[in-house]
Amino acid sequence: MKSKKTKTFGRLVKTMFSFYPKMLPITLFLILFSALVSSIPSLFMQRVIAVIEEHTALGNWGEAAAKILPMVAILASFYVLSLVSNALYNQMMAIITQGTLKRMREKMFNRMQILPVKYFDANNHGDIMSYYTNDIDTLRQMISQSIPQIIISLTTVITVFCIMIYFSLWLAIIVVVGTFLMTFVIKKVGGGSAKHFFRQQTAIGKVEGFAEEMMNGQKVVKVFCHEKESCADFDRINDELFCEAERANKYANTLGPILNNIGNVLYVVVAFVGGMLFAFNVPNLSIVGFSAMQISVFVPFLNMTKQFAGNINQVSHQINSVVMGMAGTERIFSLLDEEPEQDNGYVTLVNAKEENGELTESDERTGMWAWKHPHSDGSVTYTRLAGDVRMFDVDFGYTPEKTVLHNLSLYAKPGQKVAFVGATGAGKTTVTNLINRFYDIADGKIRYDGININKIKKSALRRSLGVVLQDTNLFTGTVMDNIRYGRLDASDEECIRAAELSGADDFISRLPDGYSTMLTENGANLSQGQRQLLSIARVAVADPPVMILDEATSSIDTRTEAIVARGMDALMKGRTVFVIAHRLSTVRNSDVIIVLEKGRIIERGSHEELIEKQGQYYRLYTGAFELE
């Protein structure tokens, strides 16, 4: 059975060939050609020494020169070709390396976009970022430097060894023994470092994740005077990285000197044995048979021994980069192998128009939406998007061991405003997460306009929902870009109307560049309330029939809340709205208020009805304290 690293390397090679099916084979050919040319000088040296030996005794220097010069010309031609091939393959390797990294980053990012929300809940964001930085960089070094150098070195070793066998089997046997010893050392020492290099890459991800977390929470750290504790926590994580890196590099840095010394000893042994064969005129066994050891064989063989040992040592130097690169590649492929968010829906959302009392699909934006529902018999029905959301006996848990919602049933008729109240952890946000299918229910049913939401494609389902969260997320770009994020084909005029509707236009017009003001670092140059107003404007421009407001006004002061409330009332008119709020004053005008406790509905009704019942809602409302 193949090892995991062998499979990873094989997969990397296949991936690179899929990216560059023509360029990569040409590059490999040029690398091999360059390596072969670097191996053949020994043959020319043997021929030159043999010619000199033959003609020196006779004093025919002119004839010797006439034979040597053509060989020198041929060797020079080979070197010129080697120079050209070197230049070409280096240029092509730059294209292949950077192109591979570009496409791998694209594959990772594309995969990340289709991963379920629970993946990001379970994995540190800094560790995920490490895939794009450290792991990609180790892959770059392996592709651009280590693999070409290993191919050159191994090709040179094989070629030189074949020439050695041709020259002298006795001396070649000595080199074989030295090779086995070197291979044993590489396997033992290099193999021992592999697991530590993988742990090192994982530890780097933890360090980066912690640093990112501290940067995001720097205000909290300072408010609670937690600087020393943060430093101590970082030191602990950094020490773990140090230990893994130290172990990995301790193995790797030991390998080079050991192989250097083995190579030197091998050179001495070959020199001694070859000298003895020459001095005592011992017959030399070669491919062509027995003959006396000659200087023309002995001298090139010594050079080849040095070249042979040097290239094996060169391979060992690249082991660090290869092992680190394979650790990074393994992590990259682990991200690419993450299970994507499953979507078996087939009902889509389309622009619709009504003709003679029937809904039909339209290619143009009409302001009317319909669910396009294909059936097994080939027929298609269209259901107008009204915003009727119903839950039946829903059970759900983020993990199988712990159920969060128990037998929950509720309904929201088109145009109704439904509010969820309850203590933190009661399951309010979980309900809305199930409506947009960030998570799938364990049991029960959820229907949207009478259609099981499992049949609706997630992209279509989410396009019909507008969500305003407590934590706002703004992106690098202009104010206009951030509003248009709600609907990319919206015109500037539509974005401005959305800002006016949400109450954001007032502060935007007072910004230095108005709607062209650049936002960075999640809108750090805006107040929390202003960021929230922009997120509401973003939903407004999307014009969804159903809205989810999850603590949408919790970060806004009372004055700003009054401004937002007017905009929100206009925005919510005619839409189905789910509201989650801790401020009970924001849910008084809801059509239905649902009180949740430990994942169960304990009360439901209008504000007046619940006050009249004098139950949990009444106690909360009259107790002059918030649900927090």
pLDDT tens digit string along 138-186?
899 899 888 898 888 888 888 888 888 877 788 888 888 887 887 777 7
Question: How confident is residue 627, by pLDDT bands cut at 50, 70 and 90?
Answer: very low
Q: Where are the alpha helices (DSSP H) in 280-375?
A: 295-336
- Which of residues 251 and 460 earns the better pLDDT score? 460
Phi, psi of 503 (to 5 degrees): 90, 10
- What does the pLDDT read at residue 558? 67
H helices of 513-615, where? Answer: 528-542, 558-572, 607-613
Contact 190, 111 (CB under 8 A): no
445 confidence band (pLDDT: 50, 70, 90): very high
Which pLDDT tens digit goes with each residue over 549-593? 887 666 666 666 666 666 667 677 778 888 887 667 677 788 899
Instruction: Please say whether the beta carbons of 428 and 421 come within 8 A.
Output: yes
Q: What confidence category does residue 495 fall into, taking pLDDT thresholds of 50, 70 and 90?
A: very high
More reliable by pLDDT, 577 or 78? 577
* 100-128 mean pLDDT: 86
Q: According to the 3-state scheme, what is the secondary structure of 347-362?
A: EEEEEEEEECCEEEEC
Question: How large is the average pLDDT for residues 262-275?
Answer: 80
Q: What is the pLDDT of residue 193?
A: 65
Strands (E), 362-501: 369-374, 380-384, 389-396, 405-412, 417-421, 443-448, 451-452, 465-468, 477-478
Q: What gap in Å lies between CA 576 and CA 238, rounded to an integer?
A: 50
Identity of residue 246: E
Task: Give the model's confidence band at 545: pLDDT under 50 very low, under 70 low, under 90 confident, else very high.
Answer: confident
One of 3.40.50.880, 3.40.50.720, 3.40.50.300, 3.30.70.330 is the CATH number of 389-622, namely 3.40.50.300
Q: Which of 40-49, 144-153, 453-462 is least confident? A: 40-49
The model's pLDDT over 310-334, given as tens digits with 9 standing for 90+, comes to 888 777 778 777 878 888 898 899 9
Q: How far is CA 326 from CA 6, 25, 43, 499, 571, in A?
A: 9, 22, 37, 50, 53
Is pLDDT larger for residue 130 or for residue 553? 130
Closest CA to 548 of 456, 476, 428, 468: 468
The pLDDT, as a whole number, for residue 544 is 86
Distance CA 302, CA 273 (A): 11
* Token pair 């389309």: residue: 350
> Is-same-fold flag (19-336; 389-622)?
no
Distance in angstroms (rounded) separating the CA atoms of residues 145 and 322: 9
Helix (H/G/I), strand (E/B), else coil: 603: strand
Task: Indicate the pLDDT class of residue 367, thresholds 50, 70 and 90.
Answer: confident
User: What is the per-residue pLDDT for 154?
Assistant: 87
Spans of all domains in the chain: 19-336, 348-384, 389-622
Q: Is the pLDDT of residue 536 over 80?
A: yes
Q: How confident is the model at residue 19 (pLDDT cuts 50, 70, 90)?
A: very high
Return d(Cα 545, Cα 369) in angstroms, integer: 9
Per-residue confidence band for 274, with pLDDT thresholds at 50, 70 and 90: confident
- Per-residue confidence (pLDDT) for residue 21, from 0 to 100: 92
Least confident of 27-36, 172-181, 201-210, 381-390: 201-210
Q: Once rounded to an integer, what is the mean pLDDT over residues 540-548?
A: 86
Residue 548 has pLDDT above 80, yes or no: yes
SS3 state of residue 488 = coil
Please provide the average confidence, as pLDDT, over all residues in the chain: 81
* 113 to 116, 336, 433, 440: CA distances (angstroms): 8, 11, 17, 18
Region 223-245: what's the mean pLDDT?
A: 81
Cα–Cα separations (whole angstroms), residue 563 to 101, 467, 505: 49, 19, 11
Q: Which amino acid is at 24?
A: L
Angle between helices 492-502 and 558-572 (to 10 degrees): 120
Q: Which among 479, 558, 472 has a CA at the least distance from the CA of 511?
A: 479
pLDDT of residue 357: 77
Q: Minimum mean pLDDT among 42-51, 114-123, 204-213, 415-424: which range?
A: 42-51
267, pLDDT greater than 90:
no
d(CA 512, CA 523): 14
Q: What is the pLDDT of residue 625?
A: 40
Share of the chain above pLDDT 90, in %: 14
Q: Does domain 19-336 have CATH number 3.30.110.30?
A: no
Of the candidates 455, 405, 399, the residue with the CA atom closest to the CA atom of residue 434:
405
Answer whether residue 485 shows pLDDT above 50: yes
Token readout for 315 is: 């391979």
